[in-house]
């Protein structure tokens, strides 16, 4: 069974003096965080007790789902990103949009990991380096089949549009 969240109990750390830390390694074949499925999801981070709460620092590696900019197909891209965040404790010290350790001494790293994975996605993700994209005429996915459209190097209508824009 796959775990469905990244909630950890940090009771032992919260009772320790500032500076105490604990190393955590995660390794999940699949992790569903809200609407995002990350598979696999691995990570190594150190959780350190600070005066303000718990500081989480390390890295996560995963494959994040996205859409190819050329063919608009679903694709997954590998992501390797840094995790650096303070989880406030008590939670009342956290401002809006900040993370906190809950009263039961657990903290859910899921929303943070989800956000980091999505932020680490490339601006122009491709399903593969040589993705052929879609035919601008008929919309055929040119990775899957060719079409009979004749695409001139300079489409007259595009040229007209370009002139209009200029």
Q: For binding to Zn ion (CB under 5 A), which residues are involved?
A: 68, 70-71, 127, 131, 135, 137-138, 140, 147, 149
Q: Would you say 14 or 135 has its CB closer to Zn ion? A: 135
Minimum Å gap between C-beta 40 and Zn ion is 23
Residue 161 has which token pair?
Answer: 């549009």
Element (H, E) at 115: helix 110-119
Q: Would you say 151 or 161 has its CB closer to Zn ion? A: 151
Which backbone phi and psi does 46 adopt, to 5 degrees? Answer: -110, 130
Minimum Å gap between C-beta 142 and Zn ion is 8
Q: Would you say 138 or 163 has its CB closer to Zn ion? A: 138
Residues 116 and 118: their CA atoms lie apart, in Å, by: 5
Minimum Å gap between C-beta 128 and Zn ion is 7
Closest CA to 113 of 38, 13, 55: 38
């Amino acid at each position: 069974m796959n775990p469905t969240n990244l909630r950890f109990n940090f009771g032992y750390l919260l009772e320790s003096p500032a500076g105490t830390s604990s190393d955590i390694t995660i390794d999940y074949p699949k992790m569903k965080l809200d609407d995002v499925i990350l598979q696999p999801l691995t990570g190594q981070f150190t959780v350190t007790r600070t005066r303000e709460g718990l500081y989480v620092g390390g890295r996560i590696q995963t494959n994040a789902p996205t859409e190819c900019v050329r063919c608009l197909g679903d694709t997954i891209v590998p992501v390797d990103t840094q995790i650096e965040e303070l989880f406030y404790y008590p939670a009342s010290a956290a401002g809006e949009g900040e993370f906190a350790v809950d009263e039961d001494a657990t903290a859910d790293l899921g929303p943070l990991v989800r956000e980091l994975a999505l932020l680490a996605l490339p601006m122009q993700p491709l399903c593969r380096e040589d993705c052929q994209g879609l035919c601008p005429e008929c919309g055929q996915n040119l990775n899957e089949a060719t079409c009979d459209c004749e695409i001139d190097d300079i489409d007259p209508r595009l040229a007209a549009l370009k002139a209009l824009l200029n």
